[in-house]
Structure 1
Amino acid sequence: MKRRAFPMAWLLAPACLALAGLHLLAARRFAVGAFNDDAFFILLSKSLRTGAFALADGAAVTDPLPGFAALLLIPSWLVEPRWHLLQPMIVAFALLSVWLTWRLALRFLSPGWALAAALVVALNPVLVGLDGLVIADIPYLALSLALFLGAAALAPGSPAWALPALSLAAALGCLTRPQGSILGLSLGMAVWLRLGWGRGLAFLAGAFLPLAGWMLRNLLAGDTVTGFVANWKSQSFLFADPLQQAGHVLGLLGALFGQGLAGVTGPEALSAAAGLGCLALVAHGSVRLARGSEGVPAAAMATYVIFVLAMHSTWPLKEARYLIALLPFVVILIMASLRIWLERRPLAAGLLLLAFSAALLRHDLGFAARGLGPRPAFEPETMAWLAENLPAEARVESLAFHTVELFTGRRTVPPGLTVYDRHAWLASALARGVTHLHVSRGLLSGEFAYPSLPYLKLPTLESWARQTPYASELYANPREGTAVFRIHHPAPGRYFEAYTACLHARDPASGASSKILRRRLKAALELEPSLACALSAEEPGP
């Protein structure tokens, strides 16, 4: 009697359910607003309901791109104010990305290797660790996978609607993440190689015209095509020293591939070496796939990886989070390289996959364990107090500025970026009309501490508020580690004028004589006796 094969679905179904549960539990550990940017996207989705893409005071927003906020438009309206109900949507996109990884890998790899690629992506701690954050990274990942699948399926005999649909989806990618422009160009190359240059140009036109329209809107509303341009210009120091740039690239590879992909922790040199090893495997796998029957989509995929890495090399932050946009493509390319040595050694391949999966799962289970407790909320008592006690016209300063604005409805701004002491901070706050300061010790040690400069972090802000006579504590919550201060001055313009006089008096480049400097200091002291920089005016001099 012939033995029946064991149905693979009996193994895959519970495994898929377990993975879904893992991602859902990991997502539960986040309070909406923990990342600050997640609150910003929700605020922008609310702004889109009115036909604008702006802050509460009407200032036009030129970055981030509007695609993800548009995706949140209806879901955020349906769940408001229970924002945590948006988290399962992000988990669904993550699980969809795993399934799409498997489908895409099947075009390049055997079924077993494709399943292994999907498993590695599903268990990756960067993906699991970010799952549930209401940000664009994971939805964009699912979209980019779907686009590569669509491009791989294009052929001269494809339906007439296939190319316009692909172009429209690519336009959404361009409007969702900065990497979307690289995605559009890579897919355009694939269309050109498959269908000819005419259709390739038509695809690119459809993909980039909406982005061009958005940039024109930004230019008219905010005098820049995108806020990202100013950010990238400020990073030009990276190119001043080739050695510094090379070190930055090595650190980036270590963060993305060494830590984020291979899970290597420890000295930076070790993670950089692991990152270089992964990059070598990616390059080898790219060459092998480009020579195969699916060479066109493989070449497009490799092009996308190369240019996204190049883009991130111009940005000073080296965060494993940036692996998300590349994760499934890099895994597929690495699998294409590894199978040369392991395809005829199934036992060794299985043991290697098992060991690597166990190492990944160790991190993932830590995330999931933190999701077993009560659902966290972002400083609920403090946010409720702010919403109930601050006047509608209040202007709050906080490191969690988008989050505070989301939960309180009060206009909230970040601290100034050029404040180095108490007087500079107060002058900056008064000049911008700040009436209250929110401080939170949780922003220091949280999983996503706000990446501001060290002198802007607590306890610096709180200590400055306690030292100035123009700030008084209104509220403190030891359980949540928060405090709220009222910023008040009888004549804010006077303080700012006095502080400006101090700056001019202390400027050695002014070339002013000592008598002029003393006169400026005396004027500042008369305007604002509490200014420390003006106290030297009382000292005897020539």
Structure 2
Amino acid sequence: MRKPWVAAACLGAAALHHLSSRRLPVGAFNDDAFFILLSKSLRRGFFGLPDGAPVTDPLPGFPALLMLPSWLVEPRWHLLKPLLLACAALAVFLTWRLARRFLPDAWALACGLLVALNPVLVGLDGIVIPDIPYLALSLALFLGAQEVCGKPGQVRWPILVCLAGGAALAALMRPQGALLALCLGLAVCILAGRTPALVFTAGALAPLAAWMGRNLLVDRTVTGFVSSWKSQFFLFEEPGRQAVHFVRLVGSVFGEGLVGAAGSLTWSAAAGFACLGLAGFGAVRLVRERKGAVAAAMASYVIMVLALHSTWPLTESRYLLPMLPMVCILILAGARHWLGRRPLAAAALLALPALASLRYDLAFARRGLQGRPAFEPETMAWLRRNTPKDARIESLSFHCVQLFAERRAVPPGLTVYDRDTWVASALVRGVDYLHVSAELSSGEFSYPSLAYLKEPALERWARSTPYAAELYSHPREATRVFRISHPDPQRYLKAYSACLGASPPASSEIPAKVLAKDLKEALKAEPGLECASAALRRLKL
């Protein structure tokens, strides 16, 4: 009876993943277009953007793996999706294999099914990003760690070398990969001793160290992630706010991402901490058993990844993915201790997150029935035909524009608060066109920036300034293209500088009469400069 049931479950899960992957074209995530661009640059012998700018973030491992597949399918990028689907299937299979080392067969099957149905995995499947390939690789490494020693004290050096090579690749694919290498080093130390562990760790982290050295040479930073970490570090001076941030993270990652406890923060955080507590109990149980070295490495990995994301400004459920199978194994190990002899209670416990996951999975699958094989094909074709090759286009989908329209593209400035600032930012950076897409602002995966940078604001600013004119619109693709031009950019920037001078803290050092004079001259040069009019009104008050 079990084999037909398992086969039906596998086919059903595969269908869900396939349909879900169809709902988003390559480029809808923006980062996926970026990885394809980087794989193309590696084929030309450097790692950077088409305009020659060096890149320090993301890591080069996944673009390197994409070099051959992207060359084979170019420009039909949607043909890369089966590769990602295969990686997801491999990850589920390896989850089952790893779970069998710690759990009875029925529980291991349940673990594989929970991972296969998890909406974070289903929702990201088919997107050309390194998350799922990295997940499959990390599971293979945890499986391989147990094989380092044949007999007690006898090290299998060929396996250790292969394990170090895989860990080195993982460290070059995702930031969590360095943590994975350290945790695998712990397992090797427990199983084989200090010397093999040091050899393994050095070999696993040496390529990453070399990459960081390259980044220092080309851009004076070890990684582009530093800027995001710096934006969060200020919270460590305020323990209360950092604690709230951590609670939100646990609620989002484990409460929402793992068991579907969406809604209030209290509910999602309570569910998340319950999952963490059960996983901790399961880890303690497994570490005491015969294969405790790998269990200790898995538990350490979950703790370190969670600590890493607590220093990250965003709290998104998709951050569950790198540790999803490990957390599921640890949770089921804890649940089995209490419910092993109560099959009905165990089945009910497993059914709840599975049903919660199916609610999201079926919604993904319904959207996938329509299918979207290409990202704004007609708009991108129009940009290729009707813009100069040296044109610079501003877009929230800037990597997609670079990939599909083959034009230089930049994102909106991160310090843009209003229309006048946006125009000044565009003129300073030499932006010629603005591409807007209504779908991006309401999609599941939006550009992770501030609310005022969403597409409706950009389009509203473009329509309200005389220096932008609509050239193209496509109702079905919900896109528009605006031409940005000014007869005398320096005149505008000089007038806009008066607004900056009238804003705190600079305004506190300049007499009001001088400010008023500068603002009046700015309005004379640029009558539509709203920031100058507003500053004058404030001075009169």
Q: TM-score range by the shorter chain?
A: over 0.9
| Residue aligning to 2:11 | 17
Go from structure 1 to structure 2 and tell me whether the alpha carbon gap of 1:252 and 1:496 turns closer, same or farther (over 3 Å shift): same
Can you list the C-alpha shifts for 1:143-178, whole angstroms capped at 9, x where unaligned?
Answer: 110111111222143533111111111011111001
- 1:535 & 1:162 partners in 2: Cα distance? 71
* Distance (whole Å) between structure 2 residues aligned to residue 228 and residue 355 of structure 1: 37
User: Which structure 2 residues correspond to residues 370-409 of structure 1 after superposition, within 5 A?
Assistant: 370-409=367-406
- Secondary structure, aligned partner of 1:311: helix
Tell me what 1:361 maps to: 358
Question: Partners in 1 of 2:502 and 2:346 — Cα distance?
Answer: 71
Q: Report the equivalent of 2:128.
A: 134
* Equivalent position of 2:518 in the other structure: 520
| Cross-structure match for 1:430 | 427
SS in 1 for 2:6: helix
Offset of 1:376 from its aligned partner? 4.4
- Partners of 1:363 and 1:529 lie apart in 2 by 52
Q: Distance in 2 between matches of 1:41 and 1:366?
A: 27
More deviation, 340-349/240-249: 340-349
SS of residue matched to 1:490: coil
Partner residue of 2:65? 71
Work out the CA distance in 2 between the residues paired with 1:463 and 1:179. 40
Matched, 1:348 2:342: no
Are 1:151 and 2:145 matched, yes or no?
yes
Matches of 2:392 and 2:428 in 1, distance apart?
A: 12
The residue type equivalent to 1:47 in the other structure is S
Deviates more, 1:512-521 or 1:295-304: 512-521
After superposition, the Cα gap between the structure-2 partners of 1:278 and 1:534, relative to the gap in structure 1 and judged at 3 Å, is: closer
Aligned to 1:125: 119
Task: Check the 8 A contact 1:190/1:296 in 2, yes or no.
Answer: yes
Q: 1:351 to 1:516 in 2, by over 3 A?
A: closer
Contact 2:498 2:515 in 1 (8 A): no
Measured in 2, the distance between the counterparts of 1:98 and 1:168 equals 22
- Quick check: 2:168–2:204 contact (8 Å CA) kept in 1? yes
Instruction: Please list the CA deviations of residues 333-381 of structure 1 after superposition, one character each: whole Å capped at 9, or x if unmatched.
Output: 0011000121112233234434543332232222222222243432222
1:450 paired residue number: 447
Q: Give 1:105's aligned amino acid.
A: A
Q: 1:316 aligns with which of 302, 309, 313?
A: 313
Looking at structure 1, the residues matched to 274 and 5 of structure 2 have their Cα atoms a distance apart, in angstroms, of 33
The code of the aligned residue for 1:234 comes to S
Q: Distance in 2 between matches of 1:62 and 1:322?
A: 21
Give the AA of the match of 2:354: S
> Are 1:89 and 2:83 an aligned pair?
yes
Separation of aligned partners in 2, 1:451 and 1:309: 20
Q: Does 2:52 match 1:55?
A: no
1:96-495 mapped onto 2 (5 Å cutoff): 96-155=90-149, 156-495=153-492
Shift of 1:229: 1.1
Distance 1:518 1:11, change over 3 A: closer
Which of 32, 37, 44 lines up with 1:43 in the alignment? 37
Unaligned runs of 5+ in 1: 1-5
Asked if the contact 1:525–1:537 (Cα under 8 Å) also holds between the matched residues in 2, the reply is no
Displacement of 1:103: 0.9
State the aligned residue count: 535
Determine which of 525, 528, 532 is the counterpart of 2:530. Answer: 532
Conserved? CA contact 1:521–1:536, under 8 Å:
no
Change (3 A) 1:212 1:536: closer
Deviates more, 1:21-30 or 1:391-400: 21-30
CA contact (8 A) 1:218 1:226 kept: yes
Task: Give 2:63's aligned amino acid.
Answer: A
